[in-house]
Amino acid sequence: MSDYYQFGWSLTLAGVWTGRLVLFLGLLGGALLVRRRPALATSGVVMTPAMLMGMTSFFAFYFVSADEHIRWLAAMSMVLVLELFVLFPNRVVCTVGVAAYAIVGTLICVSLNISETTPLRMTILAELLLIPALSGWFAAKRVESTRRREFMALEQAEAEIDRRTVLETQLKNQARTDPLTGACNRRAYAAAAEREMRTARLLAQPLSFVMLDLDHFKRVHDTFGHAAGDAALVVTANLCREVLRESDIFGRLGGEEFLFVLPNTDRHESQALAETLRSRLASADVVSGPHRFRLTATLSVAEFQTSDQDLDDVLRRADATLYEGKNAGRDRVQAA
């Protein structure tokens, strides 16, 4: 409406409105591009051309406006120079370049369109244009410094969150696993076993338990020392993980005893798995410092029964079967 009031129905009005439309479409395209790729907002690639295009279109008003309006355009230029720094997200160095273009362009446009300009008036106008430019520069640097500190604080917060997440995961694993062998501790394997027992009872699926006890483990301690005993437990645990399936549960009962919970596995399948583990353990070398020795183990197999009330019922039956194997000569798989 202000354009119509100033120019009326004329080719000048059509040119002004066409320029405004082109500027609007250009800014809209830049906004859509920045929305898809937000990093472009402060890279200078999009905002700098948009700022230059806007200032250039503003300069056109100096050449089509009446003399009494040009002074208001010069005053508006000072506002626009400040807005370049405050309202448009861009690299400060790019904004400084556009502001310099705006100041020089304003001085040229004023000198070309006002006949009574003098060097003193042009100097005063240049100083007046520099004031918002310097104010905007200081404001932009302040905002940039604040954003940089906020970004660093955000990075530190994210790093702290990641560290706490890793620590929480480690603590959860430590609460569930035996620190020496990596097998589930009693709390973890008991909860998993009770869950599998409920599933087996509900779906009428087979469920087997295998108990493993290393033979003459005290002799290893007495002969080679505690470090050799720890090495033997680690070797045993690693062999167990190699033989067991991903769905099986591997726990350490305590000392040299381990427990395997085998979901959807009947007694014959669990006996075959236990025999594989027994033979592999008997042929594996345990190395501890200068010492090298071999181990054997006795394993018992107990299948879950609907009469079992809890895990302790199964463990008592598996433990009794294990002692039968021990009394029968060790290094064997004994089934209940």
**Residues 6 or more apart whose Cβ sits within 8 Å of residue 190:** 251, 311
- Say if CB 262 and CB 210 are below 8 A apart: yes
Residue with tokens 């790729």: 37
Distance separating alpha carbons of residues 336 and 324, to the nearest angstrom: 9
Check if 68 is active-site.
no
Residue type, 102: A
How many alpha carbons fall within 13 Å on the CB side of residue 290?
Answer: 1
d(C-alpha 137, C-alpha 46), whole Å:
20
Q: Are 88 and 97 in contact (CB under 8 A)?
A: no
3-state SS, 241-294, equals: HHHCCCCCEEEEEECCEEEEEEECCCHHHHHHHHHHHHHHHHCCEEEECCEEEE
Q: How many CA atoms lie within 13 A of 49 on its CB side?
A: 11
CB of 240 within 8 A of CB of 299? no
Cα 322 from chain centroid (whole Å): 48
How far apart, in whole angstroms, are the C-alpha atoms of residue 46 and residue 53?
A: 11
Q: Which of 256, 269, 275, 303 is catalytic?
A: 256
Single out the residue of 142, 47, 33 nearest to residue 94, CA to CA.
47
Euclidean distance between CA atoms 170 and 164, whole angstroms: 10
* DSSP category for residue 114: -
Residues with catalytic annotation? 256
